[in-house]
Every structure is written in structure tokens, then in C-alpha cells.
A and B are shown apart, each in its own frame.
Chain A
Amino acid sequence: MERRAFLKGTTYCGLALAFGGPLMPLPAFAREGGKVSRGDTPRAWEDFYRKEFLATRGDAQGFAFHCSNCQGNCAWRVFAKDGRVTREEQAAAYPQINPAIPDANPRGCNKGIVHSKQTYQADRVLFPLKRMGRRGEGKWRRVTWQEAVDDIAARVVDTLQKNGLASLLLHCGTGILSQGRRAGPLRLGSLLGAQRLYPASAVGDMFTGASLAYGIATIGHSLDAWFTAKTIVLWGVNAAVTRIPDAHYLNEARYNGARIWCVTPEYNATAKLATDWVPVKPGTDSFLAMSLLHVLFRDQLIDEAFVREQTDLPFLLRLDTGELLRHRDLRDKGKDDVFYCRDEATNSVQPMPGTQGHFKKSLRLGKLKPALAGRWQVKGRDGNPIEVTTVFERARAEAAKFPPSMTREQTGVHPDLVERMARDLAKAEIAIVNIGFSMHKYVSGTMTCWAAALACALTAHAGERGGLDTENNWSLGGIGPLSGPKPARFASGFFSEWENGDMAATMRRHYPDAHLKSALGFDAAGLAALGAQFRKTSNAYFGKPRVALLFADNLLQRNKSEAHYRKAFVESLDLLVNVNHRMDTTALWSDYVLPAKSQYESWDLRGELGYHRFCNITVPPKGLKAIGEAKSEWEICLALAEAISREAKKRGIERIPDPDFLVQSGDKAGPVMRELANLPAEFTDNGALKNDEDVVRWLMKNVPAIAPWTPEDAMKHGFVTVNREAGFNSPLYANRPFHSFENNVYLRQPYPTLSGRQQFYVDHPVYLKTGCPTPTALPPLRPASFPFAFWTPHARHGIHSQWRTNTWLLRLQRGEPHIWLNPLDARGKGIGEGDAVRVFNDVGEFFARAKPMPAVPPGAVVMDHAWEPYQFRHKLGLNNAVAGLISPFELVDGWGHLKFNPNWDGNMLAFESAVDVEKA
């Protein structure tokens, strides 16, 4: 019987009568315990389950991973029978790299393991759908692929013609992170010169604190390094929930004698596995970080040799202006990017090698012995003396303001914990400080992360000694010709969302101007002025799109002040097309929904994720039957390219020149040509790249970090191992965990920062004005107008909104969204277990149910994030009560290494809103 038929209607409920009630044992049958029953009789009936097992094993096998928005990247075997996926099981075949370090098997999680169900779930988009009623009304008509792509192409060409090339947004969101499936939309967008958002910024996952320090946002370790560490700090990262495939290394490290510090306001699954839990009050982490620095400076737990060479702490700064002392301060027409130290060997001021403007591109100090502390006078270019001190002095003075006995008031953390944590960090041969994606959801997150980086620098944790970890990524290289054959319009992620969604309006509503001004140094108008300045100085592309083709990007679920954002974004568009394997919230509001293949159905490859060194492959099981009319992203892009070409030819357009980008040809420069008529040939590289399999084969042939492996090698176990070249600031050794910055620490190569070093002083006017040129603490921005802090940690039962609506996972929850409340708060509000509640503020409201949790601190509404808005009453989700907010620290551009690029872009700040809650 079909499961659905069996469960339909009241059948199952009727069967409930067969359950329940007391039952006395029948003494007559109660035989002697433990007697082996009928052990010697034939047991043919045992074949019953053996046959079932074989059926799940199927008649065909493929490989896959599940990288929808996930950084796990795990090789799975996929079984199919009669053309239908039956089950998946981890390949569990990764080799152990070193006998003293546990292997990486069996990587996977609760989301990957239900994908065989998700594949055929009733929210699957099976056919191209065209909106019939108003946007979001839910009236759809099934159309043919031909009809869909022809109409879309006509409107794309129309907007390119009328509104210019920049009016098209062709964005591949983080719903696809793999090199294979991402290639199609990236390539098509690049050929057309479309806008694209920088994805990590659009979703609020930038580590700007790390970018300040290192010029790189994502640095760190392969996570097997956890096992080798003696001190691990998990700061705003709930690894037991969000790093499920690697969390075993934490437990194994604990058994190996590591101290594991978990810093988080709620007692979560990671606090449960830690040796020490630091219950910091929400949003006060920067005070905790400063108190750690206080202890390190106070007790001189400082590796001076490391600090002198690897950081900007010996750099001189002017006491009058607070700016770093530069060449231009000493000489007319002097350079802007040459900096100085006070050399103790010669008692003179000397330029530091290795800075962006210094001719010596090495951190080697030679005979220099830069002083860390002191005050001196140097002669300025006008002959007048300039008072100077060091960054070290300034940073130390800042930390001196935050003794643990005082920060306790903000953080609620007992000074004993801070003292012990600082000493654990300093004394460990290898210490790793993981910064989670929660941290930069607060304005102060930039400072907390920067301060944590300074703590690692003072204690010389870099290279093999560990250090900060904001998630390591490999540098695969070689992909450019595939995914970026022509220049695209790169837009800032967070700032585009800010403007496209008119988010300033909800910020102004939620945060009183005086409050913003006192907390940040900028009121709404001040932030708007910074934004205008940002638009001027940044080389990012700015401008509202008119036509949006979205691949795997659930931006209507993700964005804050949900209803407000949606109205602003959707209403400004002439056409919104969503390419998706399932009906997500963004699909609901689209004009067209095009059915994409999902994880098991197209060829794919993923290797850039640096938690481990394995590059996984997806190869569908042989004979897998098509699901509806789903196509791979590559095939969809090709169909669009062909339709655009047809439409352009119909209108007599061969190509559109794009003077925003110049291409050099001999000694002449001309505009890049956006070839419309010839688009299919360009897209397929003249027929060489017809489908997703061609793309994977191209990648394996052309990406140097994957050499020498072939697709046939990958198809043996579902993966290959990336080579030494994959590490971009350290080599990736075959038998050791990866650690960032070995090239800097051991080979003395400069860091990609203005100072060429780990940088802890930024004299950009915004940083000087806010009193934050060096790491410091900022209070939470949450306004007092509503009593509860509201934050939404990453969910266990979803990767953002992916799998969030999965039947099997919802059955392991309570079927619908719940907020978590401290039981005392719940009682105070008359809210009981499972009660319907309304969460609200001056931005908006949403309805959910309540789950009292002793793990949650008083004064907090906590909720696992990324429920689809359509899982809530009125289809309004949790972001409806989150105000828009951006940070002045992230609106800075055009200073040293703080220039728009994948390592410098900002975040939408998600955890600073205040709410109230009541029984609904």
C-alpha cells in the first residue's frame, strides 16, 4: 500500500484505537527468561528483512554531497532502484592522514540523510510555473519550458535594451556552493555583464574583524586541527549543531586533554560538550574579549618576538591626530603606505619593511629591533616635532580600561573564568579560537573578532600553533575561464540588500536617533551619509535591478524586516524569476519558477571548502528517472542563452557594447562586447560544455589543486584529495592538519594588509571618530523599547531554509516554529508549554509556539533560524520582527586593505533587535 494512501484521512487515527492501555503479562506464557526460543528451527522468515535491506541497496549506485548552503561537504553513496533513489549512506571512505589523528569518517548529518525523501517531497517544483494572479497570491499555471524561457528572454533583452546591461541581476545564492552547479549561473551572468551580489555578504557571513586583522575574511584550519589543540575557544559557534560532520574532533580533543571553552549566552549542544561554558550576556562579547586582552597585557602573557615581527603593534602613531606615522608625515610628497617603528638597536625611527609601500616585501626585521612601548618625538616634514607612541601602547591602554572585575557588569562572566581562559590561551602550544557566524550579527562583532585576533597575536598563535579560525577555504584556482569569462558587475552584498529593500526605514523606526548616536557615534542621517560616501569610494557596482534571475537564493526568507523588504524589493522589479528544486518563500513571490535538479540528479563537484581536504563528486545513479521536468542549472542557463539569442536576432541585435569594462586588444582598448546573438556558442565554449557532466570534467582537468585526479578516480569512492597547492597562505601537507599563515610566520611573507602584518590599528576617520582604531568594546545596540533580546542561532534541522520543511525532520521537531523562552519568563507572561505566542516590536510581528527552555537566559527570545515564512501564521516569518541595521565599521572603503572585494564587504546585523512576547 502507498504510504500516502495508508496515512490519508482518518485511517491512521482510527488505528490509534489499537494502541494504549495497561497489559498484564500472561503467567502461563511467561517462560524462563533468556531461554533461546526455537534457535534450532529453520528460520526462513529471517529473509523478510534481508530482502528489505537489499531493496534499499537498490540496483544502481551513485555518489553525492549536499552542499545547499552547507559548508560540510560530505561524500555519500546514493542507492537507486528502478530509477528511483531509495536511500543514501555516507561513503565513509576518507583516508586517515596521520595515525595520531582520527579520520574524517563518516562525514554527514541529519539533513543529508533525508535527501532521498526531500527529492520526492511534495514541495518539489516539477514543472515550469507561471504566476497568474498578483505576486504572492499563489495562482500558478503550468507552462512549457519553451514558453517560459521565451517569455523570460524577451523581457531580459527588453530590459537590457531599454534600461541598460546593469538592470539585470543574475544571482546564484548560497543555496548552491559547489563549483559544478554554480558554474552555469556565474558564467551566464558574466557573459551578460549582469549584476551579482557578493554572496557571503548578502547572507551576513562576512568576518570583518578578521579582514581588519589579516586582510582575509576566512582563515583558519582544517578542522582535524581541533584534535591537536590543547585549548579550543568556540566563540559564537554552536559546532555540535552547525559543524555536525566535524564535531567529533571536539569530543575527541576533549578526550585528548584539551580545554574547550564555549562562549555563548544560551546553554546549547556545544556548551554541553565543552569543558568550560562562558554564559556571556547577549551582545556583550566584545567586553569579554577586551577583558581577555586586559589579562594578557597585564600579566605580560605576550610573545614579544612574534608581536614585533608579525603585527603592526610596534608601528608608531601620532598622539596629536591619532593617525599612524607615515612617510608623508616626515617628507614632502612622502608615501602614504610606508610606516615606522622606533628602532631600539639604533635609537632612531626606521621604516618597517613589508608594508604595502615599502620596497622590501618581507617581514624580516634584519637588524631592526622595533620598540613595543614608549613615547618619542620625531621631526615632521615642516620641522616641527611630532609626539608618537606605538600601537602596542595604544592597544594596551585600551585593554587597561576593561579589567575582568569591571566587564563582569556587562558580560555577567565571573572574573575567575576570564583569568583562566586567558591563561589557557597563552599556555597552550596549540590554541584555536573559532569565531562563529553569530558574532558579526552584532555591531560589536567586528571588534570582538578583531580583539580575539589580537589575543591570538599576543600569544603567538598562528601557523602550526593555531590561532583564529573564521573557516578555512581552499584556493582551487583555474576556475576563472569557466565561471567568469567576462567581467561581471559585482555588487556589495549587504549594501545592495540594504538599498534594494529600503532597510533604512525599519532601522529608523526601531533605533531612536539619539540611541544610535550614543552607541555608534552615528545617527540614521550619519549612517546614510556614510553610505553615500561608500557608494562614492567603493568600486562595487550599485544600482537597483529591474529583472532578477535568482538561482538558489531565498532572499525573501533571509532578509530582515521581512514584509517591508519584500515589498520594496519585489515591487521595484519588472520580472522575478526563481530557479529552484523546491517551492521556497522566494519562489512563492516570483513571476516564474523554473524546476531545477537537486543534489542527486546532476553531476557536480565541490572542493573549495577547507574544513577537510577532500573534493567530492556527484554522479547520479545510472538510470535515474527524471523528476518532473527538472533540468540542471547548466541546462537551464543554456536554454536561457538560446532563447536570449533567438530574441536578440529577432530584434536585430547582435551584441551590446559595455563601456563600463574595457578590453585590451593589441595597443587599443575597447568596450567589452556582450554577445547576445552568439550567446549559446559563448556559453558552451563552442559546444564543448553542453551539460553538467562536461562541466565537472572540465573542472577536474583545469583546476590545478585537483591534479592529478580524474573523474574516474573520483567515481571510485565519491571524492579525491586536493593537493598541496590548495592552501593559499600555507602549504597543505599530506599528513598534517592545515593551519593558515605558515607562509607569513615561517617565510615572512607579508599579509595582505596595509601594514603587511596582522593589523590592529586602523586610522580611517570612521574608526578614529568612533574611538575604535584599535580593538575595543561596544555595548549591544538593542533598544530599551522592548524587553527581550532576540537572536536566532543556526538550526540543527536545516541548513538555513534548506530541509527546514522536510517531513522527516519536522517529525523530529514539533512540526512548526517554536520560540525558546526561559521558564521563568514564560511563567511571568502566562505562557505554557506549546502555547501560541505573538512576538512583536515596532518593526513587525510573527506568531509561533513557545518551548520553555532552562538553557535560555532570562530576558531572551531565542529561536532556531531560517524557518520558511510560510511555516508561520499569515506566512510572516521571524525576520518580520528584525529591524534592518548596518555597521559604520563595515561602510568604510578606500583605506588600505579595506576596499570592496570578497574579503571586505559588510553584514546585515541580525541579532540587535529587541522584541516583546505575549500569549496569542
Chain B
Amino acid sequence: MTDRRRVNGPVGSTNPPVFEDEPEQEFGAQKGIRTRTPTATRKMYLKTGVTPSASGSAYLEIEASRKGAVSGLKLSCTVHGPRSLPRSTPFSPHIILSTHVKYAPFATKQRRGYIRDPTERDLGSHLETALRGAIIADRWPKSGVDIIISIVEGDHDRETSKSQGGEAWDMMNALSGCITVASAALADAGIDCVDTVAGGVAALVRDEGDDTTPRIVIDPIPSEHEQILAACCVAYLPDRDEITNLWFKGDLPASDMELYSQLVEKGIQASRNSNEVIVNSLLISTREQQPHERHDGTTRMHIAFNLQR
């Protein structure tokens, strides 16, 4: 059943283009090389207040690792609320979070539809868990807040094959970005949080060439490594030293507990890096807002009503 409320296009199925020649000659760069140090994250750009009509908003862009091959992550987040819930909703002593994560149709290798698919719902529920731990929820009883993230461009690699499981690892990077951008947007909306939560990803990878010892890197990109064995995405509150959400994927030897904790440790390190970006960006935006507010205060308008009339 086609959706009549959209323009659906041709009845017959269309195929994405299939290419014949090798991409290497175009990009020049060699595949499978990580130029950053294992403890370096990619550069980030974070800006709050991109959607003035929303209560709070933020935009996050992570730089592309190689020109042409991998797109950087581009996220736009809006926060609406806190606002009163509809009458039909049962009483809630704390704020009700609703998170929506949606890929734009042009965000990934394959064209996405407009209906949310299970991956997007999964990302949304992880995001909700991560944020719920940071918001002081009982300050707003009987109210709700909507957090909406549009992934304008995903972190998908064009060359990574499906067999390598690139999509699954990309989801972790996307979640970490979602947490970071949502945290900035929440702060922009003025919703009280115990701390700014930030996302970080660490992975156990095996590189091309040396198949002896896997190593742990932060902010992994699937195309830069031969194989990703395991990855974990943490949402971390730096001041409280708490983790609000932990997502672990992959297979590790069950005997080696040290490896598990190391991976989480590195995830926290990545999260601290992105937290610095949030704090800096919020500082910049508050500095920008201050003169504006003062101006607004002096140009107040006054209304007087005549009682006799």
C-alpha cells in the first residue's frame, strides 16, 4: 500500500546506480589507514540556536575523515518544551521525554523512506535512556518535552561492504553524535540537567597488515580498519562521573574482563572530548546572547490601561 500523502514516484522499482570502475583512482588515498592517533577524535563543529522557533536547538557536524570517500556526520536537533501534556495523558510526577531520530532520505548510501525504520527507533530509545539520566525530571511534573534529531548526513562509508557490518558500527557513531547534539540543545532550551551528557565511542580493531594484536581506538571509522571486533558507545556525565547509557556490541573473549573495562574507559575518554566541545559552544553562545538580552531589557514596552474607560 503506497502512501497517498506523498509523491511516490514511478510504480516500477528503481535501482541505485551501479558503478564499474574502481574508486581508488579517484580518491587517491589508500583505504584502511587511520591518520589520527588512537586517542584522537575527529574535529567537531557545534552550534546552538539554529532553529529560533524551537525552544532549543543545536547543529553538530563532524569532519569527514577523507575527502570524497566518507561523509562527515551532520545532525540537527530541536527541542520543544517543556509543555503541558494533553488531557488524556495519565498523571506523571516527572517530565516525559519523547525522542525521535530520523535519517533524511539523502543521508545514507541507500535512499531512506519517510517512515521511521527499526534502526531509527532503536537510536531513539538509546538516546532517551542517555538523556533521562541527565535531566532533573521531577522539576516538571505533568509536562513533556520533544527531542527531535534529523540526521542530515550519516556517517556512512560508500565503500564499506555490508558483510563487514559497517552499518552496525556506524549506528554507534550516530548515537554518540545524537547524544552530544541533544545535550547541547537541551541546555539551549534551558531545561535543567545535572550535567552536560556527551557521547563517545571506542572500539577494538584489527588493522590491515598486523593480525597479531588488536588495539583499542576511540572514534572509529569502519573503513579505516580491517575489522572491528567490538565497540561500545557510552553516554557520560563528566562532573558526576556517571554513565547514563552503555551500549556494547561485538564479541570478546569472556575471560578477559580487563578488555571490557578498558573499552569503556576509552569510551569515557572520547566522551570527555566531545563534552569539551559542548561546554565551549555553550560558553560562546551565552556570551553572544548577553548583550542581546540587555538590549531587549531596555527596549521594553509598557502598556497602561485606563480604569475609567
A pairs with B:
no
